[in-house]
Amino acid sequence: MKKALMINLIYIRAAIRERTGQELSLDDVAKVLFEEGIISKAQSQNRDLIFRGYAEYFEFEEAATKVEDPNPFIDREITHEDEES
């Protein structure tokens, strides 16, 4: 059985926008890919193969992290044996 590849509509939409200046909806991008024979009808309808962004997995689209202060985890009593004499 042939393994199906994930189709990143966001990336493809950005490439279309860069090349043509047209802003398409994600559904329109999938439709164009099907019409051009790049993906099959089954692929265009399989929601598991169509990457539509991280919104369905995460609350926000932005890549953000919480930066913790490392100082509470650093042992400040560091001795250097060569400096003691």
Of residues 79 and 38, the one with the higher pLDDT is 38
pTM of the model: 0.55
Residue 35: strand, helix, or coil? helix
Residues 34 and 76: their CA atoms lie apart, in Å, by 62
Residues 5-38 pLDDT 10s? 778 888 899 999 999 999 999 889 989 999 999 9
Q: How does DSSP classify residue 55? A: T
Residues 51 and 81: their CA atoms lie apart, in Å, by 57
**What is the rounded end-to-end Cα distance, in angstroms, of the chain?**
72
